[in-house]
Structure 1
Amino acid sequence: MHPDKVRRDSLARLTDLPNIGPAMDRDLRRLGIDAPRDLIGEDPYVLFARLCEITGVRQDPCVLDVFISITRYMAGEPARPWWVYTEARKHALQQPGPAPDNTEETTS
């Protein structure tokens, strides 16, 4: 769903989340995520690595940006387009060690 149309008080389906359409809905279900609440406390970098492993394909990094957007949204941040997180993802992946979801915002 487009971030401008998301309503936090109406999150029944995965496609009610920002940036989630039918294809990402299927990918999330492959990961065992069946409802928006299942994302609470999830690490987007771990979700991305698991999806790559499950599919046997290195996913487009933009998928990681989407995972960052939805996990942060479920943690209470505003709905934002997935590309807002691209720079934060690139920065986090350049750092040594694991890439936790604690990167600074690139925009407000």
Structure 2
Amino acid sequence: MKNPNRKTVSKLEALPNLGKAISSDLRLIGISKPQNLIGKNPFDLYNELCIKKGEPVDHCVIDVFMSVVDFMEGGEPQPWWTFTQKRKQTFKEGK
């Protein structure tokens, strides 16, 4: 897994769990650099993406968004699927 320096990383593709497709999706919703992720709500990012694309996107994208926001806010790099249970719990609680 990529382990970039969050203070100096300048490209979305350099973040853990991000490749070209998800980086492109983030740019579509106005996230052009990793620092733009700080303070963002991954669920809001997901909703914006669904609106921009005009259709629902796989819920696993939320897990990826959770992982990169967490990383940029100081968390250790983790595989995106470690956030799946947290996402499911959040949906269950209706947040």
Give the alignment's TM-score, normalised by structure 1.
Answer: 0.83
> Which residue in the other structure is 1:5 paired with?
2
**Secondary structure of the corresponding residue to residue 5 of structure 1:** coil
> Which residue in the other structure is 2:56 paired with?
58
Residue 10 of structure 1: CA displacement?
4.3
Question: Does structure 2 retain, via aligned residues, the 8 Å contact 1:10–1:16?
Answer: no
Separation in 1, partners of 2:10, 2:52: 25
**Of 14, 18, 21, which aligns to 1:16?**
14
Q: What is the root-mean-square deviation in Å for CA atoms of aligned residues?
A: 1.0
Deviates more, 1:60-69 or 1:8-17: 8-17
Q: Which runs of 5+ in 1 are unaligned?
A: 100-108
| Total equivalences in the alignment | 94
Separation in 2, partners of 1:59, 1:38: 21
> Which residue in the other structure is 1:87 paired with?
85
> Which residue in the other structure is 1:103 paired with?
none
* TM superposition outliers: structure 1 runs of 4+ over 2 Å: none
Between the two proteins, what is the percent identity of the paired residues? 38
Deviations 1:27-60 (A, max 9, x none): 0000100000010110000000110011011100
Structure possessing the higher relative contact order (Cα contacts under 8 Å, 6 or more residues apart): 2
Q: Which runs of 5+ in 2 are unaligned?
A: none
**Secondary structure of the corresponding residue to residue 59 of structure 1:** coil
Deviations 1:59-95 (A, max 9, x none): 0011000000000111100000000000110000011
Give the alignment's TM-score, normalised by structure 2.
Answer: 0.94
